[in-house]
Amino acid sequence: MKFLIKNPKIVRFILFFSFILIFLLSFRQYATALEEPVRVVASIAPLADLVSSIGVDHVSVHLLVPNGTSPHTFDPKPSDIKKLEQADLFFIVGLGLEMFAYDMAQAVGNNLKLLELGKELEVFNDPEENRHEHQFGNPHVWVSLRNLSILAKSVTEALIKVDPYNKEIYLKNAQSYIDQCQQLDQWFTEKVKNLKSHYFIAQHSAWSYLARDYNLVQIGVIEEKPGEEPSPKKIKSLIDDLKISENPVIFAEPQLNQKAAQILSQETGVKVIILDPLGSFPDVPFLETMKDNLEKIAEAMQ
Protein backbone atom coordinates (compact mmCIF):
# COMPACT_ATOMS: atom_id res chain seq x y z
CA MET A 1 0.00 0.00 0.00
CA LYS A 2 2.89 2.34 0.88
CA PHE A 3 4.40 1.49 -2.52
CA LEU A 4 1.22 2.53 -4.33
CA ILE A 5 1.00 5.85 -2.53
CA LYS A 6 4.67 6.64 -3.08
CA ASN A 7 4.51 5.82 -6.80
CA PRO A 8 3.63 9.13 -8.53
CA LYS A 9 2.41 7.49 -11.73
CA ILE A 10 -0.09 5.31 -9.92
CA VAL A 11 -1.29 8.24 -7.80
CA ARG A 12 -1.82 10.34 -10.92
CA PHE A 13 -3.67 7.47 -12.60
CA ILE A 14 -5.99 7.01 -9.62
CA LEU A 15 -6.73 10.74 -9.45
CA PHE A 16 -7.33 10.95 -13.21
CA PHE A 17 -9.61 7.90 -13.18
CA SER A 18 -11.56 9.33 -10.21
CA PHE A 19 -12.02 12.64 -12.03
CA ILE A 20 -13.29 10.90 -15.18
CA LEU A 21 -15.70 8.79 -13.15
CA ILE A 22 -17.11 11.81 -11.32
CA PHE A 23 -17.44 13.71 -14.62
CA LEU A 24 -19.29 10.86 -16.32
CA LEU A 25 -21.70 10.43 -13.42
CA SER A 26 -22.39 14.17 -13.31
CA PHE A 27 -22.91 14.35 -17.07
CA ARG A 28 -25.30 11.41 -16.95
CA GLN A 29 -27.41 13.17 -14.30
CA TYR A 30 -27.32 16.42 -16.32
CA ALA A 31 -28.27 14.66 -19.56
CA THR A 32 -31.13 12.87 -17.82
CA ALA A 33 -32.40 16.20 -16.48
CA LEU A 34 -32.28 17.71 -19.97
CA GLU A 35 -34.40 14.91 -21.37
CA GLU A 36 -37.27 16.04 -19.16
CA PRO A 37 -39.25 18.91 -20.72
CA VAL A 38 -39.77 22.19 -18.91
CA ARG A 39 -43.13 21.87 -17.19
CA VAL A 40 -45.32 24.88 -17.89
CA VAL A 41 -48.83 25.89 -16.88
CA ALA A 42 -50.40 28.64 -19.03
CA SER A 43 -53.60 30.40 -18.07
CA ILE A 44 -55.21 30.83 -21.51
CA ALA A 45 -54.94 29.13 -24.90
CA PRO A 46 -53.06 31.94 -26.71
CA LEU A 47 -50.29 31.80 -24.08
CA ALA A 48 -50.21 28.00 -24.13
CA ASP A 49 -49.88 28.06 -27.92
CA LEU A 50 -47.13 30.69 -27.71
CA VAL A 51 -45.10 28.63 -25.22
CA SER A 52 -45.60 25.45 -27.27
CA SER A 53 -44.52 27.21 -30.47
CA ILE A 54 -41.26 28.32 -28.86
CA GLY A 55 -40.51 25.27 -26.73
CA VAL A 56 -41.91 22.56 -29.04
CA ASP A 57 -40.58 19.19 -27.77
CA HIS A 58 -38.66 20.75 -24.89
CA VAL A 59 -41.73 21.95 -22.98
CA SER A 60 -44.80 20.26 -21.58
CA VAL A 61 -47.68 22.74 -21.42
CA HIS A 62 -50.85 22.40 -19.36
CA LEU A 63 -53.66 24.77 -20.36
CA LEU A 64 -55.56 26.04 -17.34
CA VAL A 65 -58.64 27.69 -18.90
CA PRO A 66 -60.03 25.19 -21.44
CA ASN A 67 -60.59 26.19 -25.07
CA GLY A 68 -63.97 27.82 -25.51
CA THR A 69 -64.10 29.01 -21.88
CA SER A 70 -63.75 32.61 -20.73
CA PRO A 71 -61.03 33.37 -18.13
CA HIS A 72 -63.45 35.89 -16.63
CA THR A 73 -65.72 33.06 -15.43
CA PHE A 74 -63.21 30.21 -14.95
CA ASP A 75 -63.10 28.26 -11.67
CA PRO A 76 -60.00 26.04 -11.20
CA LYS A 77 -60.29 22.38 -10.20
CA PRO A 78 -58.14 20.39 -7.71
CA SER A 79 -56.46 18.71 -10.69
CA ASP A 80 -55.27 22.14 -11.85
CA ILE A 81 -53.61 22.73 -8.48
CA LYS A 82 -51.90 19.35 -8.87
CA LYS A 83 -50.49 20.36 -12.26
CA LEU A 84 -49.31 23.65 -10.80
CA GLU A 85 -47.47 21.87 -8.01
CA GLN A 86 -45.45 20.01 -10.64
CA ALA A 87 -44.75 23.06 -12.85
CA ASP A 88 -41.50 24.94 -13.36
CA LEU A 89 -43.21 28.04 -14.79
CA PHE A 90 -46.69 29.55 -14.55
CA PHE A 91 -47.49 32.03 -17.34
CA ILE A 92 -50.46 34.36 -16.93
CA VAL A 93 -51.49 37.62 -18.57
CA GLY A 94 -52.03 39.38 -15.25
CA LEU A 95 -53.61 42.86 -15.21
CA GLY A 96 -56.55 41.39 -13.30
CA LEU A 97 -57.58 38.91 -16.01
CA GLU A 98 -56.97 35.73 -14.00
CA MET A 99 -57.78 36.71 -10.42
CA PHE A 100 -57.92 33.00 -9.54
CA ALA A 101 -54.23 32.58 -10.45
CA TYR A 102 -52.85 34.41 -7.42
CA ASP A 103 -54.69 32.18 -4.95
CA MET A 104 -53.51 29.12 -6.87
CA ALA A 105 -49.89 30.28 -6.83
CA GLN A 106 -50.08 31.06 -3.12
CA ALA A 107 -51.50 27.61 -2.40
CA VAL A 108 -48.61 25.96 -4.24
CA GLY A 109 -45.86 27.95 -2.47
CA ASN A 110 -42.74 29.96 -3.24
CA ASN A 111 -41.00 27.40 -5.47
CA LEU A 112 -43.30 28.19 -8.39
CA LYS A 113 -42.14 30.86 -10.84
CA LEU A 114 -45.19 33.03 -11.66
CA LEU A 115 -44.75 35.32 -14.67
CA GLU A 116 -47.28 38.07 -15.44
CA LEU A 117 -46.58 38.76 -19.10
CA GLY A 118 -48.90 41.75 -19.36
CA LYS A 119 -46.50 43.78 -17.22
CA GLU A 120 -44.03 43.80 -20.13
CA LEU A 121 -46.39 45.84 -22.33
CA GLU A 122 -47.78 49.33 -22.71
CA VAL A 123 -51.24 48.85 -21.24
CA PHE A 124 -54.32 50.40 -22.83
CA ASN A 125 -56.72 52.19 -20.46
CA ASP A 126 -60.40 51.56 -21.06
CA PRO A 127 -62.98 54.34 -21.30
CA GLU A 128 -64.43 55.42 -17.98
CA GLU A 129 -67.48 53.15 -18.22
CA ASN A 130 -65.30 50.02 -18.30
CA ARG A 131 -62.63 50.92 -15.75
CA HIS A 132 -64.48 49.33 -12.85
CA GLU A 133 -64.02 46.01 -14.67
CA HIS A 134 -60.42 46.59 -15.82
CA GLN A 135 -58.94 48.60 -12.96
CA PHE A 136 -55.39 47.54 -13.92
CA GLY A 137 -55.86 48.46 -17.57
CA ASN A 138 -57.32 46.37 -20.38
CA PRO A 139 -55.85 42.85 -19.98
CA HIS A 140 -56.58 41.57 -23.53
CA VAL A 141 -53.03 42.35 -24.60
CA TRP A 142 -52.56 39.18 -26.67
CA VAL A 143 -55.22 40.25 -29.22
CA SER A 144 -52.50 42.28 -30.93
CA LEU A 145 -49.88 40.82 -33.22
CA ARG A 146 -47.43 43.51 -32.14
CA ASN A 147 -47.92 42.64 -28.50
CA LEU A 148 -47.56 38.92 -29.26
CA SER A 149 -44.09 39.60 -30.68
CA ILE A 150 -43.06 41.20 -27.39
CA LEU A 151 -44.61 38.39 -25.36
CA ALA A 152 -42.66 35.86 -27.44
CA LYS A 153 -39.40 37.47 -26.28
CA SER A 154 -40.50 37.39 -22.63
CA VAL A 155 -41.47 33.72 -22.84
CA THR A 156 -38.16 32.88 -24.50
CA GLU A 157 -36.15 34.59 -21.77
CA ALA A 158 -38.06 32.67 -19.09
CA LEU A 159 -37.51 29.30 -20.81
CA ILE A 160 -33.80 29.98 -21.26
CA LYS A 161 -33.38 30.72 -17.55
CA VAL A 162 -34.89 27.34 -16.67
CA ASP A 163 -33.27 25.43 -19.55
CA PRO A 164 -30.17 27.25 -20.87
CA TYR A 165 -29.00 24.10 -22.69
CA ASN A 166 -31.70 24.60 -25.37
CA LYS A 167 -31.21 28.36 -25.68
CA GLU A 168 -30.50 28.36 -29.42
CA ILE A 169 -33.60 26.27 -30.16
CA TYR A 170 -35.82 28.65 -28.17
CA LEU A 171 -34.33 31.71 -29.85
CA LYS A 172 -34.78 30.22 -33.33
CA ASN A 173 -38.40 29.20 -32.69
CA ALA A 174 -39.22 32.56 -31.12
CA GLN A 175 -37.88 34.39 -34.16
CA SER A 176 -39.99 32.21 -36.43
CA TYR A 177 -43.09 33.05 -34.36
CA ILE A 178 -42.26 36.77 -34.42
CA ASP A 179 -41.75 36.63 -38.20
CA GLN A 180 -45.24 35.14 -38.60
CA CYS A 181 -46.72 37.89 -36.42
CA GLN A 182 -45.00 40.58 -38.45
CA GLN A 183 -46.07 39.12 -41.79
CA LEU A 184 -49.70 38.94 -40.68
CA ASP A 185 -49.47 42.44 -39.23
CA GLN A 186 -48.10 43.84 -42.50
CA TRP A 187 -50.81 42.08 -44.50
CA PHE A 188 -53.63 43.55 -42.41
CA THR A 189 -52.01 47.00 -42.30
CA GLU A 190 -52.31 47.08 -46.10
CA LYS A 191 -55.89 45.77 -45.96
CA VAL A 192 -56.97 48.50 -43.55
CA LYS A 193 -55.97 51.21 -46.03
CA ASN A 194 -58.83 50.16 -48.34
CA LEU A 195 -61.59 49.62 -45.78
CA LYS A 196 -64.80 51.62 -46.17
CA SER A 197 -65.56 51.44 -42.47
CA HIS A 198 -63.48 51.64 -39.30
CA TYR A 199 -66.32 51.59 -36.74
CA PHE A 200 -67.44 48.67 -34.60
CA ILE A 201 -69.27 47.71 -31.45
CA ALA A 202 -67.69 44.88 -29.46
CA GLN A 203 -69.39 42.28 -27.33
CA HIS A 204 -66.88 43.19 -24.62
CA SER A 205 -63.65 45.15 -24.70
CA ALA A 206 -61.41 42.39 -26.06
CA TRP A 207 -60.43 44.26 -29.23
CA SER A 208 -59.06 47.54 -27.89
CA TYR A 209 -55.43 46.73 -28.72
CA LEU A 210 -56.30 45.57 -32.22
CA ALA A 211 -58.28 48.78 -32.74
CA ARG A 212 -55.29 50.80 -31.53
CA ASP A 213 -52.88 49.01 -33.90
CA TYR A 214 -54.98 49.65 -37.02
CA ASN A 215 -56.86 52.87 -36.21
CA LEU A 216 -60.23 51.15 -35.92
CA VAL A 217 -62.85 52.92 -33.81
CA GLN A 218 -64.73 51.10 -31.06
CA ILE A 219 -67.94 53.06 -30.57
CA GLY A 220 -69.24 50.93 -27.71
CA VAL A 221 -69.33 47.59 -25.90
CA ILE A 222 -72.37 45.41 -25.30
CA GLU A 223 -71.22 43.84 -22.02
CA GLU A 224 -69.40 46.16 -19.65
CA LYS A 225 -68.71 43.04 -17.60
CA PRO A 226 -68.28 39.76 -19.53
CA GLY A 227 -71.42 37.65 -19.21
CA GLU A 228 -73.53 40.54 -17.88
CA GLU A 229 -76.51 41.27 -20.12
CA PRO A 230 -76.97 44.92 -21.10
CA SER A 231 -79.95 46.86 -19.79
CA PRO A 232 -82.72 48.10 -22.15
CA LYS A 233 -81.27 51.60 -21.73
CA LYS A 234 -77.85 50.35 -22.80
CA ILE A 235 -79.33 48.56 -25.83
CA LYS A 236 -81.11 51.75 -26.93
CA SER A 237 -77.90 53.75 -26.57
CA LEU A 238 -75.97 51.24 -28.69
CA ILE A 239 -78.70 51.26 -31.36
CA ASP A 240 -78.41 55.05 -31.55
CA ASP A 241 -74.60 54.81 -31.84
CA LEU A 242 -74.86 52.27 -34.66
CA LYS A 243 -77.36 54.38 -36.60
CA ILE A 244 -75.15 57.48 -36.62
CA SER A 245 -71.92 55.62 -37.49
CA GLU A 246 -70.74 55.01 -41.04
CA ASN A 247 -70.96 51.33 -42.05
CA PRO A 248 -70.34 49.89 -38.56
CA VAL A 249 -69.91 46.22 -37.70
CA ILE A 250 -70.76 44.25 -34.54
CA PHE A 251 -68.02 41.98 -33.13
CA ALA A 252 -69.53 39.03 -31.21
CA GLU A 253 -67.60 36.19 -29.54
CA PRO A 254 -68.14 32.41 -29.41
CA GLN A 255 -67.39 32.27 -25.67
CA LEU A 256 -70.23 34.68 -24.79
CA ASN A 257 -74.00 34.82 -25.30
CA GLN A 258 -74.71 36.54 -28.63
CA LYS A 259 -78.38 37.35 -27.98
CA ALA A 260 -77.84 41.10 -27.46
CA ALA A 261 -75.64 41.32 -30.56
CA GLN A 262 -78.40 39.74 -32.65
CA ILE A 263 -80.99 42.17 -31.23
CA LEU A 264 -78.78 45.10 -32.23
CA SER A 265 -78.40 43.64 -35.71
CA GLN A 266 -82.15 43.14 -36.12
CA GLU A 267 -82.90 46.70 -35.02
CA THR A 268 -80.28 48.38 -37.20
CA GLY A 269 -79.44 45.99 -40.05
CA VAL A 270 -75.79 46.07 -38.99
CA LYS A 271 -73.82 42.90 -39.71
CA VAL A 272 -72.62 40.65 -36.87
CA ILE A 273 -69.34 38.78 -37.25
CA ILE A 274 -68.05 36.16 -34.80
CA LEU A 275 -64.47 36.85 -33.75
CA ASP A 276 -62.55 34.57 -31.42
CA PRO A 277 -60.15 36.32 -28.99
CA LEU A 278 -59.12 33.11 -27.21
CA GLY A 279 -59.06 30.23 -29.67
CA SER A 280 -61.87 27.71 -29.34
CA PHE A 281 -60.20 24.71 -30.96
CA PRO A 282 -57.17 23.01 -29.34
CA ASP A 283 -55.62 21.84 -32.62
CA VAL A 284 -55.71 25.27 -34.29
CA PRO A 285 -52.65 27.52 -33.68
CA PHE A 286 -53.63 30.90 -32.26
CA LEU A 287 -52.02 32.78 -35.16
CA GLU A 288 -54.38 30.88 -37.48
CA THR A 289 -57.28 32.05 -35.31
CA MET A 290 -56.00 35.63 -35.51
CA LYS A 291 -55.66 35.38 -39.29
CA ASP A 292 -59.26 34.17 -39.48
CA ASN A 293 -60.36 37.09 -37.27
CA LEU A 294 -58.58 39.64 -39.43
CA GLU A 295 -59.96 38.15 -42.66
CA LYS A 296 -63.50 38.40 -41.26
CA ILE A 297 -62.95 42.03 -40.24
CA ALA A 298 -61.51 42.93 -43.64
CA GLU A 299 -64.43 41.28 -45.45
CA ALA A 300 -67.09 42.89 -43.23
CA MET A 301 -65.61 46.40 -43.38
CA GLN A 302 -64.66 46.58 -47.04
Q: What is the CATH number of the domain that holds 290?
A: 3.40.50.1980
Is 247 in the same domain as 222?
Answer: yes
Final residue belonging to a domain, choices 159, 187, 215: 187
Q: Which residues contact 250 (CB under 8 A, 6 or more apart)?
A: 200, 201, 203, 242, 261, 264, 265, 270, 271, 272, 273
Which residues form the domain of 203?
191-301
Is 107 in the same domain as 240?
Answer: no
Asked, for residue 118, whether it belongs to a domain, the answer is: yes
pTM of the model: 0.85
Final residue belonging to a domain, choices 135, 154, 187: 187
Q: Once rounded to an integer, what is the mean pLDDT over residues 204-211?
A: 95
Q: 277 pairs with which residues across the strands?
A: none
Q: Dump pLDDT digits (tens) for 238-261.
A: 999 999 999 999 999 998 899 999
pLDDT of residue 28: 45
Is 121 in the same domain as 45?
Answer: yes
pLDDT of residue 268: 97
Is 63 in the same domain as 157?
Answer: yes
Asked, for residue 8, whether it belongs to a domain, the answer is: no
Q: Tally the domains of the chain.
A: 2
Residue 95, phi-psi category: left (phi > 0), alpha (psi -120 to 50), beta (remainder): left
Is 292 in the same domain as 249?
Answer: yes
Q: Once rounded to an integer, what is the mean pLDDT over residues 42-51?
A: 97
Is 232 in the same domain as 216?
Answer: yes
Asked, for residue 258, whether it belongs to a domain, the answer is: yes
**Do 242 and 264 contact (CB within 8 A), yes or no?**
yes
Asked, for residue 20, whether it belongs to a domain, the answer is: no
Q: Dump pLDDT digits (tens) for 123-174.
A: 987 665 454 455 678 999 999 999 999 999 999 999 999 999 999 999 999 9
Q: Please name which of 203, 202, 75, 208 lies closest in space to residue 134, comparing C-alpha atoms.
A: 208
How far does Cα 257 stand from its chain's mean position?
23
Is 149 in the same domain as 254?
Answer: no
Asked, for residue 284, whether it belongs to a domain, the answer is: yes
Q: How far apart are CA 209 and CA 161, in angstroms?
A: 29
Is 39 in the same domain as 175?
Answer: yes
Asked, for residue 66, whether it belongs to a domain, the answer is: yes
Q: How far apart are CA 150 and CA 267, in angstroms?
A: 41
Q: How far apart are CA 174 and CA 55, in angstroms?
A: 9
pLDDT of residue 295: 98
Is 181 in the same domain as 197?
Answer: no
Is 221 in the same domain as 131?
Answer: no
Asked, for residue 289, whether it belongs to a domain, the answer is: yes
Asked, for residue 6, whether it belongs to a domain, the answer is: no
Task: Report which of residues 7 and 170 the model is more confident about.
Answer: 170
Final residue belonging to a domain, choices 123, 157, 187: 187
φ, ψ for residue 35, nearest 5 deg: -70, -25
Is 271 in the same domain as 246?
Answer: yes
Task: Report which of residues 57 and 12 the model is more confident about.
Answer: 57
State the pLDDT confidence band at 31, using cuts at 50, 70 and 90.
Answer: very low
Is 169 in the same domain as 112?
Answer: yes
Q: Inter-axis angle of helices 167-192 and 286-301, to 10 degrees?
A: 10
Q: How far apart are CA 246 and CA 261, in angstroms?
A: 18
